[in-house]
């Protein structure tokens, strides 16, 4: 047991060192470009350096959670490849140590990395997103130039904001073009505007502009000659942060915890079931009436017409009864829910694949392992992206869409294991 523990520590240290190097590499790939873009954009507006650093810290969890699985794959391939190319695994087997014993520390560390990635994705990412949004909101309140620059036209989805001069955090001669709740085009002009810093419900992802000396004009899209207008000394105009800034991260299903996404899915299911039940209850009396008319009908032509009517209604009733929720937002939430489990635990799947794959490397173990790891990282990422896209655009099971990449990696691992150990 003492010999095994020494071997376990030796393999574990080798794996952990390779993981650290690979993690830094993927962290650089996933994160540095966004860091530089965000830092440059904010530093140009004379934002305090401390706030820039905190924004970057709050942004890190999402990139860390992505770096863990691929770093585990490449690190395991590099570790096993290095041990194999230096004949250390052969020496261990010559001493009577079975390959499964050599595999133990890699499995344990793979499981540790999976749990760590899940924790970061499920807790630190939502926490970081909330903190990021709160801090960015405060920066906008103190420095509107972060999003609205003087004498500019900025478009945010269905809203266009035209600004005049900006002095002392007050926007002069502002014009807003948007649509009202009925879809009618609306124009709002004001002499001045400023951001409200005491907005209630700061976690809702909404900021408010306080407009002064307001004039608004709304034209009716159905009747071109009709329009409404109003004037006001003061008006509050709400803007979604997600719409206003490409830099602001809001709590979507990817940034929510698994519990929150699950509760949201349950709420969507209840709403869908209630809507379906309402439609079925509306169709029921009509079917009952059709059946009643069929019994009391005397002519054969009447009965034939009523029979066709009953069949048509039964078909429509069955379609509604067996209807599935195909709402895009519902699909996205469901896919992200399963992705929160599949992506972190791909660390373990990658380790199971990397051990038999790394043993095929006889020379330049680290280099070959690194190259194979990058190829399979790209392969896995493409499968994950394809599964997410197909899951939204088709009726494929969301669980399968997100877990098929892991199953493919496990299947390849099983084939390699059989070729490397069972058939010898």
**Structure-derived torsion over alpha carbons of residues 112, 115, 121, 123, reported in degrees to the nearest 10:** -110
| pLDDT digits 0-9 by tens, 376-402 | 888 998 999 999 889 888 888 889 999
Position 202 confidence tier, pLDDT thresholds 50, 70, 90: very low
Residue 203 pLDDT > 50: no
Residue 318 pLDDT > 90: no
Average the pLDDT over 390-415 and give the result. Answer: 90
Q: Tally Cβ neighbours within 10 Å of residue 144.
A: 21
Cβ pair 212, 190 in contact under 8 A: yes
Residue 242 pLDDT > 70: no
Average the pLDDT over 206-212 and give the result. Answer: 82
Position 141 confidence tier, pLDDT thresholds 50, 70, 90: low
Position 39 confidence tier, pLDDT thresholds 50, 70, 90: low
Position 245 confidence tier, pLDDT thresholds 50, 70, 90: low
Residue 121 pLDDT > 50: yes
Taking the C-alpha atoms of residue 130 and residue 330, their distance in angstroms, rounded to an integer, is: 22
pLDDT at 233: 93
Lowest-pLDDT choice from 135-144, 219-228, 331-340, 413-422: 135-144
Compute φ and ψ for 218, nearest 5 degrees.
Answer: -125, 125
Average the pLDDT over 345-359 and give the result. Answer: 86
Taking the C-alpha atoms of residue 379 and residue 371, their distance in angstroms, rounded to an integer, is: 12
Taking the C-alpha atoms of residue 424 and residue 420, their distance in angstroms, rounded to an integer, is: 7
pLDDT at 212: 93
For tokens 């948007």, name the residue. Answer: 178
Which conformational region is residue 77 in: left (phi greater than 0), alpha (psi within -120 to 50 degrees), or beta?
alpha
Cβ pair 64, 132 in contact under 8 A: no
Q: Tally Cβ neighbours within 10 Å of residue 240.
A: 16
The residues pairing with 227 across neighbouring beta strands, listed in sequence order, are: 219
Residue 294 pLDDT > 50: yes
Please state, rounded to an integer, the average pLDDT across all residues of the chain.
81
pLDDT at 143: 67
Nearest to 109 by CA among 84, 72, 135, 138: 72
In whole angstroms, how far apart are CA 200 and each of 61, 203, 385? Answer: 27, 9, 38
Average the pLDDT over 143-163 and give the result. Answer: 76
The residue length of the chain stands at: 424
Report residue 361 as tokens.
Answer: 């490397």
pLDDT at 394: 84
Taking the C-alpha atoms of residue 164 and residue 149, their distance in angstroms, rounded to an integer, is: 9
Instruction: Convert the chain into a string of H (helix), E (strand) and C (coil).
Output: CHHHHHHHHHHHHHHHHHHHHHHHHHHHHHHHHHHHHHHHHHHCCCCCHHHHHHHHHHHHHHHHHHHHHHHHHHHHHHHHHHHHHCCHHHHHHHCCCCHHHHHHHHHHHHHHHHHHHHHHHHHHHHHHHHHHHHHHHHHHHHCHHHCCCCCEEEEECCEEEEECCEECCEEEEEEEEEECCCCCEEEEEEEEEEECCCCCCHHHCEEEEEEEEEEEEEECCCCCCCEEEEEEEEEEEEEEHHHHCCCCCCCCCCCCCHHHHHHHHHHHHHHHHHHHHHHHHHHHHHHHHHHHHHHHCCCHHHHHHHHHHHHHHHHHHHHHHCCCCCCHHHHHHHHHHHHHHHCCCHHHHHHHHHHHHHCCCCCCHHHHHHHHHHHHHHHHHHHHHHHHHHHHHCCCCHHHHHHHHHHHHHHHHHHHHHHHHHCC
The residues pairing with 154 across neighbouring beta strands, listed in sequence order, are: 161
Residue 19 pLDDT > 60: yes
Cβ pair 4, 102 in contact under 8 A: no
pLDDT at 30: 77
In whole angstroms, how far apart are CA 74 and each of 78, 93, 339? Answer: 6, 24, 21
Nearest to 129 by CA among 63, 208, 48: 63
Query: When comparing pLDDT for 201 and 305, which is higher?
Result: 305
Average the pLDDT over 332-354 and give the result. Answer: 90
Taking the C-alpha atoms of residue 138 and residue 131, their distance in angstroms, rounded to an integer, is: 11
Residue 1 pLDDT > 70: no
Position 201 confidence tier, pLDDT thresholds 50, 70, 90: very low
Taking the C-alpha atoms of residue 253 and residue 240, their distance in angstroms, rounded to an integer, is: 17
Share of the chain above pLDDT 70, in %: 86
pLDDT at 211: 92
């Amino acid at each position: 047991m003492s010999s095994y523990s020494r071997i376990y520590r030796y393999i574990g240290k080798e794996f952990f060192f390779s993981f650290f190097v690979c993690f830094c590499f993927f962290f650089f790939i996933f994160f540095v470009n966004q860091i530089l873009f965000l830092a440059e954009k904010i530093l140009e507006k004379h934002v305090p350096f401390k706030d820039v650093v905190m924004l970057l810290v709050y942004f890190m969890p999402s990139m860390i959670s992505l770096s863990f699985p691929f770093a585990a794959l490449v690190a395991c391939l590099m570790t096993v490849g290095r041990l194999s190319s230096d004949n250390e695994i052969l020496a261990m087997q010559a001493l009577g140590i079975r390959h499964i014993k050599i595999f133990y520390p890699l499995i344990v560390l793979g499981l540790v990395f999976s749990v760590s990635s899940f924790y970061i994705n499920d807790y630190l990412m939502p926490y970081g997103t909330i903190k990021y949004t709160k801090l960015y909101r405060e920066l906008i309140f103190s420095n509107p130039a972060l999003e609205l620059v003087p004498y500019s036209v900025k478009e945010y989805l269905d809203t266009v904001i035209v600004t005049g001069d900006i002095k002392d955090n007050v926007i002069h001669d502002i014009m807003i073009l948007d649509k009202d709740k009925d879809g009618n085009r609306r124009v709002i002009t004001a002499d001045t505007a400023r951001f409200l810093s005491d907005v209630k419900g700061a976690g809702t992802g909404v900021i408010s502009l306080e407009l002064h000396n307001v004039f608004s004009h709304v034209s009716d899209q159905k009747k071109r000659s009709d329009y409404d207008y109003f004037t006001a000394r003061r008006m509050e105009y709400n803007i979604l942060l997600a719409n206003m800034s490409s830099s602001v991260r809001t709590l979507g299903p990817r940034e929510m915890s698994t519990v929150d996404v699950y509760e949201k899915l349950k709420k969507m299911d209840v709403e869908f079931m209630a809507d379906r039940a309402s439609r079925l209850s509306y169709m029921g009396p009509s079917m009952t009436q059709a059946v009643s008319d069929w019994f009391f009908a005397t002519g054969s032509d009447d009965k034939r017409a009523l029979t066709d009517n009953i069949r048509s209604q039964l078909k429509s009733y069955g379609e509604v009864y067996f209807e599935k929720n195909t709402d895009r937002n519902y699909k996205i939430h469901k896919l992200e829910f399963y992705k929160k489990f599949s992506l972190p635990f791909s660390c373990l799947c990658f380790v199971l694949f990397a051990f038999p794959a790394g043993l095929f490397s006889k020379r330049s173990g680290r280099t070959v392992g690194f190259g194979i790891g990058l190829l399979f990282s790209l392969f896995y990422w493409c499968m994950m992206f394809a599964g997410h896209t197909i899951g939204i655009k088709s009726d494929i099971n969301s669980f399968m869409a997100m877990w098929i990449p892991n199953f493919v990696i496990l299947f390849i691992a099983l084939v390699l294991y059989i070729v490397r150990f069972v058939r010898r």
